[in-house]
Chain A
């Protein structure tokens, strides 16, 4: 009896010992140590920019190899899908365990800045990257709250434009892209027939919806947050802006009701590149066009129509979209991480990667490459430089995207089901979103 008990205790204790060992092994997971002779290894989480995670890895790997050749620093890259990226960044910020360098959606900058998990880029750090002046102004404005050093630096720039199918436009006898919102609707009606639709939207995508709520809100002169940072999603201007977007399906019927269930961020592009819809308000579609095997020349890009200057809204037709690169505060290799940031914002890397992704370089000196002088890129560049506004750089920004975007999912679902979308209905939904914002805090 006693020996058995002893044997059991031994087993139990060694089990407990093993458990402790296992836990400490987790805790001791270093990705390299600075100051030693051992080669430094960085871990880098990249966002998904191309048609697949694997495709992105193939784009990035040659550049990372080049970096290793230059500096001796090895970079392990993991491409993280958008659906996981924010959660994983939050988990890394909470635990202090995770990558050294990470891509973030630039609209999250201020929200993530508030966590204090990232190394701020003060003037000295920016000077090491070639100085503030090297970066595109609008992109640099979307890197954190005003008056604070940027929490990240821009690496890929993007904005919204109106893509249109040249053949479908010619077939309907339309000369060129619409210049006013009324023209867009009229053209859309002409193009909607026989299972083809005027315009495609990603109606169940929270972030697409939120971005359009912002862009049209600007056109109506709405501010999502007042000067004290309080949410005001249900102002009359914002209601009008959201309704303007939903009405494309609900009233003007130039959007296929099926678009109300498009959620994964690719379906509207598919409808557009396969000719099921004639127009699309989107960021870069270059990699999808390539994947579909159609020519980019079939499509034109125009600015989303601006409002009549007499109506009092702002002359905005795009948001400053894009990807920023941030360095985690918990990194043990901050020197190497900063070298990597310098590499990623370097002219050659900027040219190679932005060419591959169809996005805009975020540093001025990269534009001498003829690849960035195509009509599409030039049009995007002009929108970004002149008529794009950054989403509010406040800590609550990501909540705005989630709550208002989700409310708009519901509006599209109701519009698709044929329910009337009235001002009162839109206002009620937006008020709910606003309450949820303030309710929990």
Chain B
């Protein structure tokens, strides 16, 4: 790499010289100043854009391409040989009368409900935590560190521990509920059936609320202390301060935070995969696991790709609408 550097910059100079008639300075002069000025930022982000294209956009485009093919195990060695399916994969995915479409719709609705709950609760806990920790007190540092532990733990380690705790016969949760507190006689299931949805929400909130807490804590640092002092002199209660100072001033932070939490939860693969394994219970069948099942496990990559494209379009739409709404409201405010 080091060796190639001079020759590459030499080539650049050579090309420059070849392009203009004489010294390099003249060609620069040919480009208007405004273009040179305006061009610099683009030049600076060029490597990032190129890498972004390579790492994100190319696979995305390939995925879109795949969604138009009947890509099954017969063709994975040579995708180009796979028959063109047109919109066939999409038609199957959105035909809600068929088993495939109905399952996808069900999974979508489960994911929406899961995301709303997980984002709402993560934000609420994060907000409460951040506001309560706003004023200095003894042990604040320790508590803050403690709160961040779930976020710092590797996902797998954290979630697999939850899955042990949720086991019906030997799990800690049932031990506490049934043997210690005697709340129920019958040991409930947490990893299968209806309760699995609740388990999933609990684990997701446990895992992500520290992030909300962290971001909101950082946001609170930017609110000037004198605002609180001034309002206190005016006799504002604590709750009034939260409503009229803290929340409005955190709006830009919240705008980004809620969006990020939404996208992470909606797309979450790790939590349900580690908690339930390859086939999640129907009640907690999140869409990313569902798509994984529809493509990898059933070897129908075209169908899975079509579902992924639909998911991508949905998330793009939600993000665009969300940003449009929140930005307009903010500029009006």
Contact = CB atoms under 8 A, between A and B. Distances in A.
Interface string B75-94: 01100000000000100100
A294 interface: no
Contact of A435 (B4, B89, B100, B193): B100
Contacts, number: 142
A114 B9 CA distance: 50
A416 B182 CA distance: 21
Given A260-B189, A440-B294, A94 B99 contact: no
Interface in B267-316: 276-279, 281-282, 293-294, 296-300, 302-303
A26 to B, nearest CB: 13
Interface in B151-191: 167-169, 187, 189, 191
B327 interface: no
A10 to B, nearest CB: 4
Given A18-B1, A261-B168, A406-B279, A436 B191 contact: no
Nearest to B302: A440
B46 interface: yes
A116 B103 CA distance: 31
A399 B299 contact: yes
Contacts of A260: 189, 192
A414 B281 CA distance: 10
B76 A93 contact: yes
A275 to B, nearest CB: 15
Contacts of A5: 40, 43
Contacts of A17: 1, 4, 8
Given A9-B12, A117-B77, A417 B169 contact: no
Given A96-B77, A115-B77, A436-B100, A14 B5 contact: yes
Contact of B50 (A16, A264, A431, A440): A16
A435 B98 contact: yes
Q: How large is the interface on A (under 10, 10 to 19, 20 to 34, 35 or more residues)?
A: 35 or more
B28 interface: yes
B14 to A, nearest CB: 13
B73 interface: yes
Interface string A402-441: 1101100110111011000000000000011101110111
Contacts of A206: 278-279
A371 interface: no
A285 B44 CA distance: 62
B241 interface: no
A4 to B, nearest CB: 10
Given A413-B281, A436-B103, A398 B299 contact: yes
Nearest to B47: A12
Contacts of B193: 413-414, 416-417
A261 B191 contact: yes
A90 B296 contact: yes
Nearest to A256: B169
Interface in A376-419: 395, 398-399, 402-403, 405-406, 409-410, 412-414, 416-417
A2 interface: yes
A70 interface: no
A439 B76 contact: no
Given A14-B5, A440-B298, 7 more contacts: A6-B9, A9-B43, A10-B12, A13-B8, A403-B298, A412-B192, A440-B302
Query: Which 8 A-B residue pairs are closest in the complex by CB-CB distance?
Result: A435-B99, A413-B192, A439-B100, A440-B303, A10-B9, A440-B300, A406-B279, A432-B99
Interface of B: 1, 4-5, 8-9, 12-13, 24-25, 28, 40, 43-44, 46-47, 50-51, 54, 70, 72-74, 76-77, 89, 92, 98-101, 103, 167-169, 187, 189, 191-194, 276-279, 281-282, 293-294, 296-300, 302-303
